[in-house]
Structure 1
Amino acid sequence: MKYLRSSAPETGSAGSEGLSYVYVLPCAYEDLLKLGFSRDPLARVQTLHPRYYEFFGLDRGFLIETDTVAEARALELRLRRALAEHNAPAPLTVRRAAGGHTEWYRGAYDALTADMERLAGQGSIVHRPLSAWLRDGLLAQRDLLFSRACALLEGVQGDPDALDRPEMITVRQNALDTLDAYRTLDLPLQDCLPTALLDWYQRSSH
């Protein structure tokens, strides 16, 4: 059974050339954050938590853009070294398979914000709030979402109510997690889902 995603899972760096980003992801309900770097922050945040748009405070998160992976890696390492005393265990609800479990910090948001503002003043490109950047990323992937939604429907012989069967609970939750991201970030779904799946989602998400 195909799962519904709006982006491909992150598979690691594809090389050292091209834009990369240092990301700061503060948790929504505690003074804890994830620091890291990625070529594809949208795929990365989706990998960390299925409901990343609730788990992280995206309006407080930000990205620092670099020209290469090497630059992002060097910047992230410098920031990490300055935060050694703030290092904290990763939350238990973060996917273990996502990795990066040593790069969580408590009480470090103000220091990283100051670093970000200093770098912005020196000419670095900063994307803040992160929610706006992720919204644009999801918007750009609506065609991919539609094709995967069609594949999901094909897997249930065109009957989305089949997703409500007990044996489909994992696939159902994946679909809801994916589509709830669009709703949370105020992106319409009417033109990027087959009608049958859109109707099912509207019934299931209330």
Structure 2
Amino acid sequence: MDESGIRTPWSGRCFVYLLPCREEDTLKIGFARDPWARLAAFHRRFDRFFDLARGAVVETDRVREARAIEAALKTAFADAVTPAPLPVRARAGGRFEWFRGVHAAAFEQMRSTSDALGYAFHAPLDAWLRDQWMVQLERIVDWSRDAYALVETLHYNASSELALPRERALRERLEIWESIGIDIGLLLDGTAGQWYRCGFAD
């Protein structure tokens, strides 16, 4: 799915992130300029793999500051390092930045560090991600409706080999947005909204 028409809403900043897994007491610590892209790099359905309601980010002005906070966290929890969970994409990297059994302590250290240094601390992560996307609601509405128009055209005029992957990619993107609290009814209406709820009528 071509998402080039959507501008990353947090460009120009850098974030230290804490990403707890949903099904096990394991979390990822790292930093990124684009937290959304980093989440997607780890897992196609990161909304299901990570417990975003328990996640957090510290917002900094420069990469150097984010690196320093990340390094302090890794040092503090070095004894809790654990292998990356198997479902995580190997190409995402960061395989030595996973930790087990330290969520509460890591969360509190991130909060206290942000307070001490005057950085913004954002938690829960799902609500913060939603707020970032909602800033550009008009743009994602246009993107969603254009993407649906293409999917509909392919569904009725192209082979399933071409149409189905695009339909699946659009549905997954919308489901991820919905999982962080974006009302899909704001993005798709009429037949597009019906498709999202029930699929194509045929």
Tell me the TM-score range normalised by the shorter chain.
0.7 to 0.9
- 1:184 and 1:90 map into 2 onto residues whose CA distance is 24
CA separation of 1:100 and 1:6: change in aligned 2, threshold 3 A? farther
Partner of 1:116: 110
Cα deviation, residue 166, structure 1: 5.0
CA contact (8 A) 2:148 2:170 kept: no
Cα-Cα RMSD: 3.0
Paired AA for residue 23 in structure 1: Y
Query: Where do 1:19-168 residues align within 5 Å?
Result: 19-122=13-116, 123-153=118-148, 155-156=150-151, 158=153, 160=155, 165=160, 167-168=162-163
Paired AA for residue 55 in structure 2: G
CA contact (8 A) 2:155 2:164 kept: no
Paired AA for residue 113 in structure 1: F
Cα deviation, residue 59, structure 1: 1.3
CA contact (8 A) 2:145 2:187 kept: no
Cα deviation, residue 190, structure 1: 2.9
- 1:153 and 1:175 map into 2 onto residues whose CA distance is 7
CA separation of 1:117 and 1:153: change in aligned 2, threshold 3 A? closer
Residues 45-75 of structure 1 deviation map (CA, whole Å, 9 limit, x = unaligned): 1232222222111111111121211100121
Cα deviation, residue 155, structure 1: 4.1
Paired AA for residue 198 in structure 1: G
CA separation of 1:148 and 1:124: change in aligned 2, threshold 3 A? closer
Residues 66-125 of structure 1 deviation map (CA, whole Å, 9 limit, x = unaligned): 121110012112211222221112122222332222211111212212312322442332
Give TM-score, length-normalised by structure 2: 0.80
- 1:160 and 1:21 map into 2 onto residues whose CA distance is 40
- 2:160 and 2:32 map into 1 onto residues whose CA distance is 37
User: Residue 25 of structure 1: SS of its match in structure 2?
Assistant: strand
Give TM-score, length-normalised by structure 1: 0.79
Gaps of 5+ in 2: none
Aligned residues: 197
CA contact (8 A) 1:6 1:178 kept: no
- 2:102 and 2:159 map into 1 onto residues whose CA distance is 42
- Structure 1 or 2: more helix by fraction: 2
Cα deviation, residue 31, structure 1: 0.4
Gaps of 5+ in 1: none
Equivalent residue for 1:175, pick from 148, 170, 176: 170
